[in-house]
Amino acid sequence: MELMGEIILHTRFNEKSLVENVISEERTSKEMSYLTAGHTAAIHRLQSYYSQAACAFQEVGGLDFFRFMADLDDHFDTAFEELAVHMADVCRHLFVKDHLIVSLGCDEDLKDKALKAISHLIDQLDEAGGALNTYRFTPILKNEGIMTAAEINYVAKGYNYKSLGYEYHGSAFVLKTLLSMDYLWNRIRVKGGAYGASFGVGRTGDLAFSSYRDPKVGETLAAYDHVGDYLRQLDISQRELEKYIIGSISSRDVPLTARLMINVGDSMFFSGLTQDVVQSERDQILSTTVDDLKNHADMIDAAMAENCFCVIGNEEAIHKSEELFNETTYIRK
């Protein structure tokens, strides 16, 4: 707790060379991620075309943040003094008693000692950090082709199905396994030549398809559009279905270390997720039928019809498919 207090209360933001190193390392790390894990960045980017939360993430961890950091790195000498003032100001507003939440995980016999140490740190914090700010963004359907130095592409397409009137059901988690291991594997990896492809869907309503190290662009987007047709014609045995169910539930029913248990608890607390909801989802996964999987066809068709996508990758491939995009831009403007 003493070390934590030292960081929170006494960090020196005017250490120019150290701050410059941190910014340079962060820029390099983000830039490399677009070459090696661009599918994740593409999903986050396309979500910002329709989601307030995703727009916010772009400012603090996405492509807009990377461009901000790159510009800061390029003009560090002239920007540093103002940056140091801003960082100290942000720190002063963040680490205050107002709105403070403490998560403690420990053995029972350490609880009182830990709480005493935490209380000592809290006593050193300011009472309030000022008024809370409300941010509003205006999502724009950019459908970008974002060009990098890579030879391959990361192709993502998705939307929020809840905004289209559909609800989450635990069988969607089995659908995720089915599509990733069957349809997407065969259409995009085997036939298309990509290293991989996946489908993600969650309780918040976001669903997204993405490809990994993909030589194609238009063909991959077309493959996503035909998922609904594939589901309507789905014909698998009960034994095959059970394999997909086992593959799905096995990623949920895993032993947790104390640290992971605390992380899960924190996540549930902040998202408002209850154990009853978790159990209900688990029951739905285990009782999934072929009809449950087929029933997602309309939902996926509706999401694909919104035509919301993002491609990060090869400059030549993006130029060849330029008619698909609303905007084409370089990863670093």
What is the rounded distance in angstroms from the CA atom of residue 333 to the CA atom of residue 329?
7
pLDDT tens per residue, range 66-99: 999 999 999 999 999 999 999 999 998 889 998 8
Burial of residue 236 (number of CB atoms within 10 Å: 0-12, 13-18, 19+) = middle
Residue 134 falls within a domain, yes or no? no
Query: Are both 325 and 220 inside the same structural domain?
Result: yes
Boundary of a domain, candidates 123, 154, 178: 123
pLDDT tens per residue, range 300-331: 999 999 999 999 999 999 999 999 999 999 99
Contact 166, 299 (CB under 8 A): yes
Query: Are both 177 and 323 inside the same structural domain?
Result: yes
Q: pTM (2 decimals)?
A: 0.92
Sequence-distant (6+) residues with CB within 8 A of 9 are 95, 124, 125
Query: Are both 85 and 232 inside the same structural domain?
Result: no
What is the rounded distance in angstroms from the CA atom of residue 1 to the CA atom of residue 7?
10
Residue 137 falls within a domain, yes or no? no
| Residue 249, number of CB atoms within 10 A of its CB | 17
Nearest to 19 by CA among 66, 79, 64: 79
Query: Are both 191 and 300 inside the same structural domain?
Result: yes
Query: Are both 108 and 237 inside the same structural domain?
Result: no
Reported as type and span, the H/E element at residue 175 is helix 171-178
Residue 281: give the domain boundaries.
Answer: 144-330
Rounded percentage of the chain residues whose pLDDT exceeds 90: 90
Contact 182, 304 (CB under 8 A): no
Residue 139 falls within a domain, yes or no? no
Residue 160 falls within a domain, yes or no? yes
Mean pLDDT to the nearest integer, 32-47:
95
Rounded percentage of the chain residues whose pLDDT exceeds 70: 99
Domain count, the chain: 2
Cβ density class 62-82: b for 16+ within 10 Å, e for less: bbeebbebbebbeeeeeebee
Residue 99 CA: distances (Å) to CA of 51, 87, 135, 328: 25, 20, 18, 42
pLDDT at 63 over 80: yes
Residue 323 falls within a domain, yes or no? yes
CATH code of the domain containing 198 = 3.30.830.10
